[in-house]
Amino acid sequence: MRPFLVLLLAVFSHAVTKSQIVRKNSLAGIALVLPLINNGISYDYSARKTSDQSGYLGGGVSLFYRKNHNEFSLGYEHPGLKMDLVPPKGGYSHFSADLFELTVQHLFSKNVFILGGINYTKYHFYSSPDIPPFPKIQENDRTIGLTTGAGIEISKVTTLLVSYRPALFSFDKKSYHQVLSLALRFHINFWKKR
């Protein structure tokens, strides 16, 4: 076990040293986020159970500051979770989410990074049945959770990111919530210091 720990520490130290050599400047700017494939778990108020929804595309924006091998960002994201559901009594149901997050990204090799942080997510549920008296259900679940992920820098301005955002605390409905996304992020640099 000890040789494995020494090897792991040596690899981590080499990656940190190498990443510090790769980036010796500071950057600040805006990142445009394009969530491509998304999956979310939330409470389905019409079926009265936890269910998952998937979707494509979405949008988001974040402010970032990068120094050496770390990037700090504050952002908003709306992953495309709009999957129309059919309630048990017919009609239409809709699920979506809005995320606000504070993250730290650490580059541990030339173009591979890990991501961690916290988020505030608001899950929206809307249902409208076909059966009279047409009682509409409109609920919001607010949560605080973790943001974790990993990614690859495809170019100087483009990254491919997989992120997982489980809820730790729910203000409203006490059920499990999460969002899993595969996204592209495009950096627009406004300030650079060498």
Cβ(84)–Cβ(94) below 8 Å: yes
Q: What was the pLDDT predicted at 193?
A: 82
Q: Is the pLDDT of residue 13 over 80?
A: no
pLDDT confidence of 4, banded at 50, 70, 90?
very low
Q: Which residues contact 118 (CB under 8 A, 6 or more apart)?
A: 101, 102, 144, 145, 146, 147
Residue 106: closest CA among 76, 75, 72: 72
12-21, 110-119, 147-156, 171-180: least confidently modelled range: 12-21
What does the alpha-carbon distance between residue 81 and residue 39 come to, in Å, rounded to a whole number?
7
Question: With a threshold of 0.85, does the pTM exceed it?
Answer: no
Cβ(29)–Cβ(190) below 8 Å: yes
Structure-block tokens of residue 166: 């489980």
pLDDT tens, position by position, 117-169: 999 999 888 777 776 666 777 888 899 999 999 999 999 899 999 999 999 99
Structure-block tokens of residue 184: 């592209």
Q: Could you give the angle at the alpha carbon of 112 between the alpha carbons of 108 and 114, nearest 5°?
A: 70
What does the alpha-carbon distance between residue 121 and residue 97 come to, in Å, rounded to a whole number?
7
pLDDT confidence of 8, banded at 50, 70, 90?
very low
Q: What was the pLDDT predicted at 5?
A: 43
Report helix, strand or coil for 60: strand
What does the alpha-carbon distance between residue 182 and residue 77 come to, in Å, rounded to a whole number?
12
Cα R_g (the chain), whole angstroms: 20
In the chain, what is the straight-line distance between the N-terminal and C-terminal CA atoms, in Å? 42
Verify cis geometry, omega within 30 degrees of 0, for the bond prior to 133: yes
